[in-house]
Structure 1
Amino acid sequence: MKKTLIALAVLGAAAGVAHAQSNVTIYGVVDTGFIKKSGHDVEMGENVNNRLGFRGVEDLGGGQKATFELEQRFKLNNGTNNSGKGYKNNERDLAGLANVGLKGDNWGSVKLGRVNELTTETIRKFDPFYQYGVGSMMYGSQRVRGIDNTIRYDSLNWSGFHFGATYSLGSNMDSDSRAAATEDKNGYGQDLKDAGADNDGYGIMLGYDNGPLSLVGNWSRLADSRKSSVWNLGAAYRFGPAKVELLYQQTIDKGYALGDKSAWKTAKIDGAKTAYANANDIRENQWLLGLEWKLGPGRLNASAQWMEVQANGADISDKDIYKYAIGYTYDLSKRTAIYGNLAYTDYDDKEVAAIYGDTDDGTYGVQIGITHKF
């Protein structure tokens, strides 16, 4: 009996040690409210992306750790999957993050699987609306939040300086096997190969964040994008209760985004394709000036944007887009907040508006809702 008790005590102690070395965090966001946009009925939708995630760390000893991230994105108002750009709602079991990796106290971290796209993850921090809701900075045509089949490295932080890099496998670089298939589950298929769009993807980020000053620079090329590219620069300075932000972003879109033809190739007005469909590629030059100001128990957010859209190979002049947004988030607690946002977008004409999903050359958006984080 004593031997049994001793054995159980040893097993219990071992289990306690294993538990102490491992840590799993459950986290998430639930957000919904009402949105009214030009040309649309009032609808229910999110501001901050809804998600449920699991993040784990295991201590391997010697300053080394194993990590994993599993995250589902969903629409709170109807409970459906929110897979994001280029995918139907039912095509992903994990629409957020899905990766495993290693982390070291002396060298940084490596993740393999589905990870956040560096260009999006870092530049969104210089948008007062964090690329959420009706007030968000205008999305470039190559913007995505997550990338598949990727290895990502993040460096240590040296007095505010840090960098990161990603490498993503394309859909299929083998021309023989690509020619044998007309379409796969992600909708790529023979058209991708014929367009020379089945390239691998790359990304690099350099950043500085120390005290009141933050800086970032990115360059990326998405996999299966016909070697389209994005680069951007961001700067922010905090003084007292306020933070001022400035960013510039250039997108060169050659007709594919994650294997799908880009919106400017398929945009229509009254059922007819726009003049942009004849272009070889488009270039988006985008500026944003933003302000975040702590007022009372919440934050005032405001931004002014300008995007120039240039078409190459089409008989169409450069077009301008201006967007203005203001909003206030009221913190009910550390985890719960209510918000109200208002935005207006001024397009040069309906053709350029159609590229970005609008039907009029002047559109507005109003949004109110509630967010809880856990």
Structure 2
Amino acid sequence: MKQKTQNMLLALAVTGVVAVPMHASAQSSVTLYGAIDEGLQYTSNVKGKSNVETTSGQDSGDRWGLKGTEDLGGGLKALFQIENGFNLNTGALGNGGRVFGRQAYVGVQSDRIGTVTLGRQYDPLVDLLGPLTANGNWAGSLLSHVYDNDNTDNSIRVSNSVKFVSNKYAGFTFEGMYAFSNAAGGFADNRLYGLAGQYANGPVTIAGAYLQVNGNATTNAGGAVSSADTDFSATRNQIFGGGINYALTSAATVGFIYTHTNLTNVTGSEYFGNLANAANSLRFNNFEVNARYQFTPVFYAGLMYTYTLAHYDSNAGQARPHWGNVGGMIDYNLTKRTDVYMQVAYQRASHTDGVAAPLGQAVLVGTDTPSSGLNQTAVLVSFRHLF
């Protein structure tokens, strides 16, 4: 009898040990994912010379990451995501050498309200307005607006942030973010806040966004935005805009986007270097039209044109540089996870007064090196695999 009782207890114990991980796995999940995007790129004018080079992550930044959820009960879930960016050609870490520089956050999701996350994250403008642009949706960096001045190509990565993402209500979604300076006695020194909303119903998607950064990494490297996370050295960066996409048919979509960027006390940029005369104010107005057509389930083509008008004001004088950007892309899927694509981009800058030099140069985002003149052309052929 004693032996039988011991056997029964042993069987129950084994059953319990096996049941616990089975129950846990049914309530939680962790996913490994990533993207590898490698190509050959020709650029017509790189400081006066043409260049052919291998290039990594032009349309989909090379990355790998982990994301997961766990059911907490009562309509709540815990979630996390950590994402590493790297350069496939060199193996170097991206995003200023951070191990998880693209994203790193944890949070809670409610079935009834929305999601709150904390950590290093994408801002609301990138999430909701960016996808209406060509570069933020079906294209990549080469088809971005000048200097990515409005962050639709996600140049700004936000640390120390708290973000709320609402559930969708009758087609409407909104997001809000606040990122702390983390500086004792310097609450506003390198902080960020933003708000965005999007409405999607049938063939129409409409979005609007506002984003502001106060201070910069020069005075507080541990704040919301570091020198590796932004394109400009300025004491304030204010961005707002709106756009609309309309599906003409199940295969054809057209879009229009307007954004405005207002920079205060600008000393330079990673794209055009240091300004000879610091700008008290540098403003950009971007007007983009784009179109995309899905010829077959595995093949699409897209076109875009952006006109950018800048207003430069300094103690040395004023200037009104402007740029015209035109670009296109074709993409063919070999499988559900692997595709090949080609992009062509051309930019023409205006002549501008010397007080605003070197703003008069052409510089396509994705080449990272300015032309020696008013024109720059880039052609990219790339192979991409998602996992």
Q: Describe the SS at the equivalent of 1:125.
A: helix
CA distance in 2, matches of 1:267, 1:138: 11
Q: Are the equivalent residues in 1 in contact too, given 2:145–2:308 (CA < 8 A)?
A: no
Q: Is the 8 A contact 2:261 2:283 kept in 1?
A: yes
Whole-angstrom CA distance in 1 between matches of 2:384 and 2:148: 26
Tell me which of 123, 137, 140 is aligned to 2:129.
123
Measured after TM superposition, the shift of residue 31 of structure 1 is 0.6
* Residue 66 (structure 2) pairs with residue 50 (structure 1): no
- CA contact under 8 A between 2:75 and 2:111: conserved in structure 1? yes
Task: Flag as ranges the 4+ runs of structure 1 deviating above 6 A.
Answer: none
Q: Distance in 2 between matches of 1:368 and 1:50?
A: 16
Does the C-alpha gap of structure 1 residues 322 and 171 become closer, same or farther in structure 2, counting only changes over 3 Å? farther
Match of residue 137 from structure 1: 145
User: 1:310 Cα deviation (Å)?
Assistant: 0.5
> Unpaired runs of 5+ in structure 2?
1-6, 217-234, 352-356, 364-368
CA positional deviation for 1:68 = 0.3
8 Å contact 1:213–1:237 — kept in the other structure? yes
Query: Match for residue 366 of structure 2?
Result: none
CA offsets, 1:19-63, max 9 Å, x none? 111111111111100111122521111221111011110000010
Match runs of 1:204-219 below 5 Å: 204-219=195-210
1:332 aligns to 2:341 (yes or no): no
1:190 match: none
1:189-228 residue CA offsets vs partner (Å, 9 max, x unmatched): xxxxxxxx82421100011012110011000112534232
1:219-258 alignment, distance < 5 Å: 219-225=210-216, 226-240=235-249, 241-255=251-265
**1:118-197 alignment, distance < 5 Å:** 118-130=124-136, 132-141=140-149, 143=151, 144-174=155-185
Q: Secondary structure at the match of 1:234?
A: strand
- Give yes or no for contact 1:173–1:198 (8 Å, CA) kept in 2: no
Q: Secondary structure of the equivalent of 2:193?
A: strand
Within a 5 Å distance, the mapping from 1:1-374 to structure 2 comes to 1-37=7-43, 38-39=45-46, 40-45=50-55, 46-47=57-58, 48-83=60-95, 87=96, 90=97, 92-130=98-136, 132-141=140-149, 143=151, 144-174=155-185, 198-225=189-216, 226-240=235-249, 241-255=251-265, 262-263=268-269, 267=272, 274=275, 277-296=277-296, 297-313=298-314, 314-349=316-351, 351-354=358-361, 356=363, 357-359=369-371, 360-374=373-387
Contact 2:361–2:375, Cα closer than 8 Å, also in 1: no
Paired AA for residue 159 in structure 2: D
Between 1:197-206 and 1:57-66, the stretch displaced more is 197-206
Cα displacement string for residues 136-191 of structure 1 (whole angstroms, at most 9, x for unaligned residues) = 3334336334200000000010121010000001252525xx9xxxxxxxxxxxxx
CA gap 1:221/1:355 in 2 versus in 1, 3 angstroms: farther
Where 2:142 maps in the other structure, the secondary structure is coil
Tell me: CA distance 1:322–1:355, structure 2 relative to 1, closer, same or farther (3 Å).
closer
Q: CA 1:11–1:79 in structure 2 vs 1: closer, same or farther (change >3 Å)?
A: same
CA contact (8 A) 1:126 1:290 kept: no
Aligned partner of 2:51: which letter? D
Distance 1:267 1:328, change over 3 A: closer
Describe the SS at the equivalent of 1:254: strand
The 8 Å contact of residues 339 and 370 in structure 1, kept in 2 or not, is answered as yes
Q: Secondary structure at the match of 1:280?
A: strand
How many residues get paired?
A: 338
Q: Unpaired segments of 5 or more residues in structure 1? A: 179-196
CA distance in 2, matches of 1:116, 1:108: 17
8 A contact 2:160–2:182 mirrored in 1:
no
User: Which whole-Å CA distance do the structure 1 matches of 2:339 and 2:323 have between them?
Assistant: 31
Q: Distance in 2 between matches of 1:274 and 1:71?
A: 34
* Pairwise CA RMSD: 2.1
Distance 1:368 1:216 in 2: 31
